[in-house]
Amino acid sequence: MSWVEERREGNMDAVIAGYRLTSDAPTEPRTCMVDQPTPPIVWLVDDQGLGLRAPDLPTGECGAFKWDAIVAIRELPVTERIVHLIPVSPTVEARFVTPE
């Protein structure tokens, strides 16, 4: 199994704007359900290498993530990609392998 780390560089204005969006108040009573992927873990790092973990993504009234910040991040060029191999037992790995 592996975990992929990507480093991207460029203008962060759109990324910051995406994180600054406000979350919508949830509907009461809750009448909607959301099935969505988990957002990636994001760290913002300055030129001196100091970083902070980005806040949670804002959400819409049904709890769906507003993906504006992630879309903006994915538009930045990848400057480094590191694949971290994670050793796991064959039993655990078998849980994640899809049959062909």
Q: How confident is the model at residue 99 (pLDDT cuts 50, 70, 90)?
A: low
Among residues 5, 62, 52, the alpha carbon closest in space to that of 32 is found at 62
Average pLDDT score over the chain = 90
* pTM of the entire predicted model: 0.77
CA distances, 89 to each of 53, 58, 72 (Å): 30, 37, 37
Among residues 22, 35, 91, the alpha carbon closest in space to that of 62 is found at 35
Tell me the pLDDT tens digit for each residue of 21-70.
999 988 777 778 888 999 999 999 988 999 999 999 999 988 899 999 99
Q: How far, in Å, CA of 17 to CA of 73, rounded?
A: 11
Statement: residue 100 has pLDDT above 70: no
Among residues 20, 9, 94, 84, the alpha carbon closest in space to that of 47 is found at 9
